[in-house]
Amino acid sequence: MLSSARNGQVLVIGSANEDHVLTVDALPVPGATVLAGSSTLTAGGKGANQAVAAARGGADTAFVAALGADDRGARLRAALEGAGVDTRLVGRRPGAPTGLAVVTVAASGENAIVVAAGANAELDADAVEAALADATPAHLVVVQCEIPVPAVCRALEVAGRRGAFAILNLAPFVALPERALRAVGLLVVNESEARAALGERPGAAGRAVDDLAPALAARFGCAVVVTLGARGARCRTREGRDVTVPAHPVPDAVDTTGAGDAFVGFLAAALARGADLADAARTASVAAALSVQRPGAQASFPALAEVDAVLA
């Protein structure tokens, strides 16, 4: 399936936000003002996180995104470049602020998040098409859903047309047209996204977790990985083989922010090296497990050498 993608390049198309994380005793109720115990600025957004993870995972990685022409955008670009991500396809939208997420985290661990998409909302389908003009069968195109639906669809369609392998991380869940879905080679979802994609209603009795990947594969006609947090992941290969990948046990999960992104980025990097889906998922599982033991998202992603040391 990916024989020509050995030493392939990973092309991530998606969102970039700056996360402003505020820790509070309790989340404010409407009308209240509360003092934060700490405030930190970190680079985030699912697209940027996955691009950084793919680069840490050893892949030659380029990112397609839209930033504003502001200081926030400059900081995000620097973070990407610091991680070794090629940012030549990261465009600037001078009229829009760079994406911003305000993440309020209570002592209980509960959070409340407000996202201002800003420039991410201006990543248009034509810009995506132009960015993919040189995509080849040696490219793995990785898309998530924090950018406009037409941009997601165009990315998948152009990837398909150019023979690139398309990985869709359907996060957050959005309904996509059949035409775009036909181009997906591998679908990656967490449990709630899997259930949403299968039309299960939240709270209603649904499928057993082992039945999710086969059902998604039948529905979408592609390989599937369902991530299940501390319960690991379930894969359904293109050949119809089901593989259970246990989570790598961690003594203490301190911050699961970005665990899914670490998983997707390392998965893409391993596939780009020519690994099969089961081996790539084992690598991704270790990378994600290492990331939950450290605070933050991008800052918590391990280097490939750390992951390989665990797998050895």
Rg (CA), the chain: 18
Nearer to ligand ADP among residue 98 and residue 256 (C-beta):
256
Residue nearest to ligand ADP (CB): 260
104 counts as binding Na ion under rule CB under 5 A: no
233 counts as binding ligand ADP under rule CB under 6 A: yes
Compute CA distances 77 → 65, 178, 184, whole Å: 10, 34, 28
291 counts as binding Na ion under rule CB under 5 A: yes
Nearer to Na ion among residue 9 and residue 49 (C-beta):
49
Cβ neighbours around 136 below 10 Å, total: 12
Exactly one of 15, 104, 190, 237 binds ligand ADP (CB under 6 A); that residue is 190
Q: Parallel, antiparallel, or unpaired for β 111-116 and 99-106?
A: antiparallel
Do the beta carbons of residue 48 and residue 99 sit within 8 Å? no
Specify whether 261 is catalytic. Answer: yes
Nearer to ligand ADP among residue 11 and residue 290 (C-beta):
290
Assign 63 to helix, strand or coil: strand
The interface region with Na ion, picked from 70-78, 225-233, 252-260, 263-271 by CB under 5 A, is 252-260
Smallest gap from Cβ 281 to ligand ADP, in A, equals 8
285 counts as binding ligand ADP under rule CB under 6 A: yes
Sheet order of strands, 17-24 included: 38-44, 17-24, 99-106, 111-116
Exactly one of 89, 259, 270, 304 binds ligand ADP (CB under 6 A); that residue is 259
The C-alpha torsion from 79 through 81 and 86 to 92, rounded to 10°, is 60
300 counts as binding Na ion under rule CB under 5 A: yes
261 counts as binding Na ion under rule CB under 5 A: no
Smallest gap from Cβ 258 to Na ion, in A, equals 6
Candidates 278, 245, 275; CA nearest to 57 is 275
Three-state SS letters, 124-166: CHHHHHHHCCCCCCCEEEEECCCCCHHHHHHHHHHHHHCCCEE
By the criterion CB under 6 A, which residues form the site for ligand ADP? 190, 227-230, 232-233, 247-248, 250, 253, 256, 259-260, 263, 285, 288-289, 292
By the criterion CB under 5 A, which residues form the site for Na ion? 255, 291, 300
